Chain A
Amino acid sequence: MSKVIERPRYVCALGGAIGTIQSLPRAIPILHSSSGCGGNLAGALSGASGYNGGNYCGGQALPSSNVSERDIVFGGEGRLQEQIENTLKVMDGDLYFVVTGCMVEMIGDNVHAVTKRFKGGDLPVLAAETVSFKGNSYYGYELVLETLFRDFVEKTTEKDAKTVNLWGVVPMQDVFWKGNLGVLKNLLKKLGIETNTFFGQGETLDNLKNAAKASLNIVVSDAYGIEAAKVFEEVHGVPYLTVQLPVGDHGTSRFLRTVGKTLGVDDIKIEKLIQEERKAYYPYLERLADVYNDLDFQRYATVVGDPNYTQALTRFLADDLGWLPELVVITDILAEEQKERVLATFGEYESGLRPEIVFDEDASSVGGYINRHWPQNQGQKYYKGFAPGVILGSVMERDTAEQFKVPLLSVTYPISNRVVLNRAYAGYTGGLTLAEDVLSLVVAHR
């Protein structure tokens, strides 16, 4: 039996699907669900994602069949057909994507049969059964990608060795997704590689439509987007590689080496790029030489969040910043095999650090783990606890941070105490941004 969850940091498959579709350029989600689902998810998608907003078609603009009790009794397919027809008339998009809520699944509406009637029309209408009780936001992301790869990406035998697709950075769940995608795309460009990220700045649906020309799919995650990569491989014959989200020098250099090698990029070229990037990176960190040491900027850290970020932040803190991120709490629902894959990403630290890693979905458990890792003061005179400490997590860690009197930087979802526009934490530049943000917290009280 799955667990009940105290303050989950994700919504249902429907929510993940909506977030994914509305982040695609000019794509229009059509909800086949009861009237409340879209409104219920809006706050999670935009308000909790650094005030990401609804993009082109999100929030209350989402078309929705709004089925209610009557439709549930008589079936909602007729209503869906009418809704799709009228959506095509009113909403201005290049791709329409029907997603479903739990009720219509339970009453047995066949959305595929309905959307099929729109096949061959001027505008593409896709559908995925994003049934909420089958999985969370990440599952919805996965389902949408799978459907796009099967039904929207055009088949081709033509392959371009210098083009790749990249995903695994989940829009909205990665609050900095847009900026992060841009950074990764730019980095690969420096290796002479063109990247489709589908959701990135300046891309259009053509990037997606022509994605089968790519020679490699890069999944920047050990948990999300892998099933979709398997579908892509099966349908279009493009292999995939999973890599970790890179933040800072150590993470990003590993990223470049892994990706470069798989793509057959000359070693010398890769190392040259890494050297160049470091030449820009370390002079910035160099500015901190005095203050870092004069004021003793080293901190213990607890990192809380999804697998993509927790591994990236931990490596950055340990190897780039020389901190002691000794405790990591991963808050997602993961299958055993996913857990193993994820665990493997917390290793091989240059600094030799070995963080304690726990999997726990409940928000209020975090404090307990901190107490166990750095035992609490039982009134003893000589005592070493979680001090000086910092928490890198989400806004949900506010209370915990207050409890331990340590600063908190919200980097992982949900974030409602910061506004995020194009900020990125990925790559070398992202590492500098993260250093700025986290060290600013340390000096904020001065």
Chain B
Amino acid sequence: MDYIKHKVPPVREDRLMACQAYGGTCGDLSRDSKKGCLYASKRTFSQTQGCQLNLSLGMISSMRDAVMVIHSPIGCGGNLIQNAGINKVFQKLRQESAVGLRWINTNLSEVDVISGGEAKLRQAVLKAEREFRPSAILVFNSCVPALIGDDIDGILDDLQKQVSAKIVPIHCEGFKTKIQATAYDSVYHGLIRNLVGEDNDSQPAVVRTPEEEAEHQAVISKTVNLLNVGSMSRIDEEELVRLLKALDLNVRILPSYSHPDDFVYAHEAALNVSICATHDDYFVEHFQQMYGIPYVMRTIPIGIANTNKWLRDIASFFGIEEQAEKLIAAETAELKQAIEPFKAELKGKTAFLTGGEVRILTTAELLHNLGFEILGLRGYHFDKYGEILLDEYLEDVPNSEKAIFNIGSGQVFEQANLLSKITPDLFVGHIGVNGSAAKQGYPIFPLFGQSDDYLGYKGVFEVAARVSRILKNPAFNKNLGSHTRLPYRDSWYEQDPFTYIDDSASVAARIG
């Protein structure tokens, strides 16, 4: 992979042949995916989802000591408004003096659309510098400047000479892709190009004696970059750090909630540790190519099996397998005993999960181990990383071929239809779709949360405890189920849930 030289990264439809519309079973999907014919499918009726810009902000708006400039008409980035007063709380968990979200919108008007938005972009960046003196100014580019052809990079290069904050352009126009996850590439692209590396350090380079240098290298040889994700809570981070420290490793956490300076020496690490390929493949591949830093990225440490796999992958890199096995044995023995009572209680219950491909497949395995039968999954999109995980899942979870697999971000009409047919005991969902399932009366376990833990061994126990608590009294959603109505016609529920997925292109590819 070598896209860093380019101004913008490619979209995931092209780079990973990612698919965003599919309906079938887990078995079907595994087979169809290998034929490589899924990516061309589309919907003839669709609901809104989210764009690269939203997700880019979701990923990195939490950066401390940074100001975001959103170069767009006034509405783009609107989701930030709901976090304006509350994000600070989460930033403070990482740094007491954190100030919370700050952003400037260039408020492009009709005049700007005709005469170009470049002057406004300048104004915004200079204002960010003048008012806040941040360490970094992250500039997010939306649809309109892309269509009117603003020379964003040119202006920002020029501005960089005038401001002391590091300017990071993030090209994330919404219309470019239907795979929102392209946002992760856009953000990492900007971060790698503009924050990583000594030449991006505002401090003079450190001079070390040979002894100091040797010591420094020794530290690096045991340092991992733990790539966190926006949906990860501080408690999740702490659990993973605890496990990595138990293996005597040093941990640097990037990119969500990080400080711009955290990136300067990010290449001084022995290993990149990802918990999600959807989030990090662009970053880790480039780091390997540019700095020769290998990575671990197979799975997310959710559930016992996946946490074990994750730890073993890391340990085998450092050649400390024995130490890891000891840790795993001790942790799992203790955990298994602790979750025994929940298993008795949850045995035979059924579940349906929706969200990112990596997260749902691993969470499904966790629930399976607690005694659940998994009736179906909805992935936001699907690509080669999902394929690998799905195959492992099919192996680890008996009789899972027949479970439903639907692909599409948002598209709650398909979800509503599916749920009316498969009626699980528990719905596990990503933010944005839970309200819809709640109105159908299902008890809901949120797939992630800023205040709760999900990852590692502690996560398993916490998930079990929360699921059991939620199932104990689903009255709120039951009431909603009997007294509210989703905005779909009765006739819709009689149809095939995948009626509006048009996969004629892939059918043609299969035949041809």
Contacts and interface: CB of A to CB of B under 8 A. Distances in A.
A331 interface: no
B500 A133 contact: no
A86 B50 contact: no
A102 B76 CA distance: 11
Interface in B99-134: 99-113, 119-120, 123-124, 127, 131
Contact of B107 (A5, A39, A69): A5
Contact of B178 (A13, A46, A68, A394): A68
A368 to B, nearest CB: 10
Nearest to A2: B109
Interface string A42-66: 1111111000011011011111111
A399 to B, nearest CB: 7
B81 A134 contact: no
B487 A102 contact: no
Given A8-B105, A12-B75, A35-B49, A61 B84 contact: no
Interface in A179-214: none
A132 interface: yes
B175 A40 contact: no
A35 B48 contact: yes
A416 B436 contact: no
A66 B53 contact: no
Interface stretch (B39-47, B204-212, B358-366, B396-404): B39-47
Contact of A61 (B44, B82, B486, B492): B486
Interface stretch (A88-96, A274-282, A296-304, A334-342): A88-96
A430 interface: no
A37 B174 contact: yes
A40 B124 CA distance: 21
Interface string A1-45: 111111111111111000000000000100100111111111111
B193 to A, nearest CB: 23
Contacts, number: 267
For this complex, into which size category does the number of interface residues on chain A fall?
Answer: 35 or more
Given A38-B49, A40-B51, A90-B488, A48 B107 contact: no
Tell me which of A53, A62, A87 has the highest count of chain B C-beta atoms within 10 A of its own C-beta: A62
A259 B78 CA distance: 36
Contacts of A11: 74-75, 78, 81
A227 interface: no
Contact of B48 (A60, A106, A131): A60
B289 interface: no
Contact of B47 (A7, A14, A41, A64): A64
A133 B410 contact: no
B82 A416 contact: yes
A82 interface: yes
Given A35-B178, A36-B49, A14 B75 contact: yes
B109 A91 contact: no
A40 B76 CA distance: 7
B413 interface: yes
A67 interface: yes
A103 B104 contact: no
A83 interface: yes
B433 interface: yes
A351 interface: no
Nearest to A57: B487
Contacts of B124: 4
A100 interface: no
A132 B106 CA distance: 13
B334 to A, nearest CB: 39
Given A1-B119, A40-B78, A414-B81, A12 B73 contact: yes
A230 interface: no
A15 B78 contact: yes
Given A36-B174, A133-B110, A92 B488 contact: yes
A7 B102 CA distance: 7
B111 to A, nearest CB: 7
Contacts of B329: none
Given A28-B487, A106-B144, A395-B84, A41 B78 contact: yes
Nearest to B87: A416
Interface in B137-186: 143-144, 147-148, 174-178, 180
Contacts of A12: 73-76, 78
Interface string B485-500: 1111111100000001
A87 B131 CA distance: 47
B83 interface: yes
Contacts of A34: 51, 143, 174-175
A48 B82 contact: yes
Contact of A63 (B46, B106, B432): B46
B86 interface: yes
A82 B104 contact: no
Nearest to B173: A34
A412 interface: no
Given A102-B143, A396-B85, A40 B174 contact: yes
Nearest to A53: B435
Nearest to B124: A4
Nearest to B436: A61
A93 B487 contact: yes
B81 A44 contact: yes
B132 to A, nearest CB: 8
A316 B162 CA distance: 48
A39 B492 contact: no
A156 interface: no
Contacts of B73: 12, 102, 132-133
A92 B119 contact: no
Given A48-B81, A60-B433, A364 B102 contact: yes
Nearest to B51: A36
Given A14-B75, A64-B48, A54 B435 contact: yes
Nearest to B430: A60
B77 interface: yes
Contacts of A60: 47-49, 410-412, 432-433, 436
A150 interface: no
B200 to A, nearest CB: 26
A72 interface: yes
Tell me which of B53, B79, B101, B490 has the highest count of chain A C-beta atoms within 10 A of its own C-beta: B79
A417 interface: yes
Interface string B60-99: 0000000000000111111111111110100000000001
Contact of A83 (B46, B53, B54, B104): B46
A412 to B, nearest CB: 12
A92 B174 contact: no
Given A35-B49, A35-B178, A86-B44, A5 B410 contact: no
A82 B105 CA distance: 34
Contacts of B490: 92
The 4 A-B residue pairs with the shortest CB-CB distance, nearest first, are A36-B51, A38-B48, A12-B75, A47-B82
27 contacts: A1-B109, A1-B112, A1-B119, A4-B104, A4-B123, A5-B105, A15-B75, A35-B49, A36-B175, A39-B54, A40-B54, A41-B79, A43-B81, A56-B485, A59-B435, A65-B46, A66-B178, A68-B176, A83-B46, A86-B500, A90-B488, A132-B75, A133-B108, A133-B113, A364-B131, A398-B85, A416-B86
Interface of B: 43-54, 73-86, 88, 99-113, 119-120, 123-124, 127, 131, 143-144, 147-148, 174-178, 180, 410-413, 432-433, 435-436, 485-492, 500
Given A87-B45, A416-B86, 17 more contacts: A2-B109, A6-B127, A14-B75, A36-B49, A38-B49, A39-B49, A47-B83, A48-B84, A66-B48, A86-B45, A89-B491, A92-B488, A132-B73, A363-B84, A399-B88, A399-B99, A414-B84
Interface of A: 1-15, 28, 31, 34-48, 53-54, 56-57, 59-69, 72, 82-83, 86-87, 89-93, 101-103, 106, 131-134, 136-137, 333, 363-364, 394-396, 398-399, 410, 414, 416-417
